[in-house]
Each structure stands twice: as C-alpha cells, then as structure tokens.
Homo-oligomer: A and B are copies of this chain.
Amino acid sequence: MTHHDPAASFLLGLAAILLAAKLGGELFERFRQPAVLGELVAGVLIGNLDYLTGWGLFSGLRTDPFIDIFSRIGVIALLFDVGLETQVGEMMKVGLSSLLVAVAGVIAPMILGFAVGQMLLPQAPWSVHLFLGATLAATSVGITARVLKDLGRLKDRESQIILGAAVIDDVLGLIVLAVVSAMVTTGDVTAGSVARIVVVSALFLAAAVLLGDRVVRGLAEPLSRMRVRGMKLITALSFCFGMAWLADLAGLAPIVGAFAAGLVLSEASFARFADQRPLQQMLEPVTTLFVPVFFVLMGIQVRLETFRDPGVFVLGAALTAAAILGKQVCSLAAVGKGLDRLSIGIGMIPRGEVGLIFAGIGRGLGVLDDAMFAAILMMVVVTTFITPIALQRSMSRRRAS
C-alpha cells in the first residue's frame, strides 16, 4: 500500500484533457473550423470512450471536482480575457442595439420553448413548460466570443452588439431563472423579490463600468509601488477573482463579474507598474492552461446513449429549432443600417454552460426528469456545435461581399 499524491492522477487527467483539446483543435483548424469545436468533439470522444469501448479509462473525469473547478476557472478566465479586449466606449455605441437584441432574445425563445412544451408534453404541468422556455432564454457568450476571437473579428460592430447583448442576456437570463425557480418552488412570486434581482443586476454592471476605473486606479496605485515579481498579473487576476465573487454574491453568474473586471481594466490601469509587459501576454499561459478544460468538459458531459429514446430526440429537435428561431427573431431588434443581422442572430444561438446550469437547476428542483434533461442537453449541444460553423460561414460570406 503505497501513498499516492491526489495531484498525480488529477494532473494525468488534466494532461490528457489538454492534449486532447489541442489535437482536436489542430484537426479542426486544418479543416478551417474553429479550434473550439475540435475541443468540444475531443470532449465528446473522451466522455463516450468508456461507453463505446467499455474501458473505463476516463469515467472519473466527468465528476472529478478538480476538473470541474478548473473548468469553472477556465470560463471565468475566458470572459476576463474577452472583457479585456472589449472597449466600453465601443460597447456603449451599440448599447441600444444590444439591449433590444437581448430583451427580444429572452422573450422570443421563452415563448417558443413554452409552446414546444405544451405541444409535445401536454400532460406535464405548466412549471415544466415554463422551465423549458427558461432554458432557451440564456445566451452563452463563451463560445461565440471564442469564435469571434479566433476569427479576429472581436472589433466588428456586429460582434460588439452580440457581446453586449450576451452580457445583458446573462443578467436577464438569471432574473428569469430566479423568478421561474421561485414560482416553481413557492407557487408564487412577489414583486419585491423580482424587483430586488433586477435592481442588483443592473447596479452591479453599471457600478463596474462607471466606478470601476476610479476604484482600479485607487487599488493599483499602492500595488504598483511594489517591486516583487509577478505583481501585475496577481493584481489583475485578484481583481478578476474578486469581481467574480462579488457577482456571485449579488446572485449573478461569476462570469458576469469576470467580464466586468476585464471591461474595467486596460493597460492604462497598469501604467505605473514597473513590469511593462502587456497584461494579455502574461495572461495567455493562464488561459492556455484553464480554458480548454471548460470546452472539453462540456463535450465530456454529453452521453451519447441517452439519445436511443426517439422521444428524447424529437423533444430535443423541437427545442433546438425553437432556440435557433427565437434568437433569429431577436436580431431584427438591432438598430442600425447595413447590419449583418444573420450573423447577430447566429452569434446569439449557443446556450452552452448557461443552458446546462439552468437544466441542472431544473433537474435539482425535480421539475425536469431525465428525458427532459437529455433533450435540453441535446439542444445545448447542437446550438453550441452549429454556432462556430454557421458564424464562420456567415461572417466570411459578409466579408467576401
């Protein structure tokens, strides 16, 4: 009986995930597809290898708490990085479009999802239909942001509208989730609790954008006098982590805080630091280590065997159609001439981790059964998978014209 270090087996699994992510990414880039899709496919392969082969090699990864936390840090680091690349001024220019797209992008899919539930599951209670609609409301900005970054199109007006709308969508989605959860669990919802969530969410982002720069400069000033190594990266990461925690405390997703932290920080925030290397250059090894874990784990969560039941497949297909159609409707709400509305609509399609979180909570509340959960998972996976391909085609078509 030898003593084994818990880090050893975790690091082997991490190395396998990172190498699989890079191999998948490489393969897809060779076929001119975004690397992120390759990371998802690598995850699906890893996650179902045991089911297909019976080896039991990777079965532990799906529920490993350390892989899970690495994945959560990955999506937080990704949104921080995306926030750093997003200029608040640019986002304000498209603020109205983003707001309108986000509001339409929550309402339209919710109505469609509710309708799908009533048609295909007529005997299920209204709470199920409501929850199915709610899972369609959220947009997962991570995948779209990654695709836009891979394509080098983050500065486009359409990209700014999508990113702004996705952030507002996160806030709206969490309000919807909180309200729906309250209605399902208590059978009632007070106007006060809804108002509180709305106010907290709006205040959080407004405060980050309006006060953030002043607070950061105040915090960074004493830290910039320190000459010990690594001060700049630690200051930036601590700010990101602190904002993620604050968002969570406010009842929002931590990624909202991480994105806000990235929005607020810029190279100007670090002007007084002795270390003059760009922050994003220092951040790159950190995102390289954490971000692929998120995308591979999303793939790993997909159980291919659940789709043996044709009913699951039909419900999943209907939800997928509602998800895609609902977000296409929302692109019509964007304000401006000559906008690539198709790309905006496509960019809003992926439900990703937000849809997964919703489905998980619905399942935890006992509202959604295994079949509904599998169907939602299918919707999440399909919308996540088609976005990189569709967005790339749509944006290249636009550039070519």
Is the pair A181, B3 in contact by a Cβ cutoff of 8 Å?
A: yes
| Closest residue of B by beta carbon distance from A174 | B3
Cβ-based interface call for A208 (8 A): no
Are A76's CB and B11's CB within 8 A? yes
Within the complex, which residue of B1, B23, B234, B237 is in contact with A186, where a contact is CB–CB below 8 Å? Answer: B1
Against B, the Cβ 8 Å flags (1 = close, 0 = not) of A186-199 are 10000000000000
CB atoms of A230 and B8 under 8 A apart: no
A7 partner residues in chain B, CB cutoff 8 A: 69, 72-73, 76, 244, 254
Copies of this protein in the complex = 2
Across the interface, do B289 and A233 meet the contact criterion of CB distance under 8 Å? yes
Other-chain residue from B231, B288, B364 in contact with A230 (beta carbon distance below 8 A): B288
Interface of A is mostly: helix
**When the two chains form their complex, are residues A237 and B8 in contact, meaning their CB atoms are under 8 A apart?**
no
- Which of A13-21, A51-59, A122-130, A262-270 forms contacts with chain B? A13-21
Tell me the bound Cα distance from A127 to B241 in angstroms. 42
A283-B288 Cα distance, complex, nearest whole Å: 11
Chain B nearest CB, measured from A94 CB (Å): 28
CB distance from A356 to the nearest CB of B (A): 12
How large, as a class, is the contact surface on chain A? Answer: 35 or more
CB contact under 8 A between A241 and B15, given known A8-B248, A286-B285, A289-B286: yes
Residues of B within 8 A of A181 (CB): 1, 3
Interface stretch (choices A210-218, A221-229, A389-397): A221-229
Query: How far, in whole Å, are A66 and B66 apart by their CA atoms in the complex?
Result: 7
On whether A228 and B29 interact (CB within 8 A), knowing A11-B73, A73-B11, the answer reads yes
Taking the nearest CB of chain B, how far is it from the CB of A296, in angstroms? Answer: 12
Give the distance in Å from the alpha carbon of A19 to the alpha carbon of B219 in the complex. 12
How far does the Cβ of A312 sit from chain B's closest Cβ, in whole Å? 25
Cβ-defined contact, B186 with A12, below 8 A:
no
Measured between beta carbons, the chain B residues less than 8 angstroms from A35 are 228-229
Q: How far is B2's CA from A10's CA once the two chains are assembled, in angstroms?
A: 30
**A22 on interface, CB distance cutoff 8 Å:** yes
Give, as a whole number of angstroms, the nearest-CB distance from A261 to chain B.
11
Establish whether residues A228 and B177, one from each chain, have CB atoms under 8 Å apart when the complex forms.
no
**A185: contacting residue among B1, B72, B245, CB under 8 A:** B1
A49 close to B (CB within 8 Å): no
Q: Is the CB of B8 within 8 A of A228?
A: no
Query: Assuming A19-B238, A228-B25, is B286 touching A8 (CB within 8 A)?
Result: no
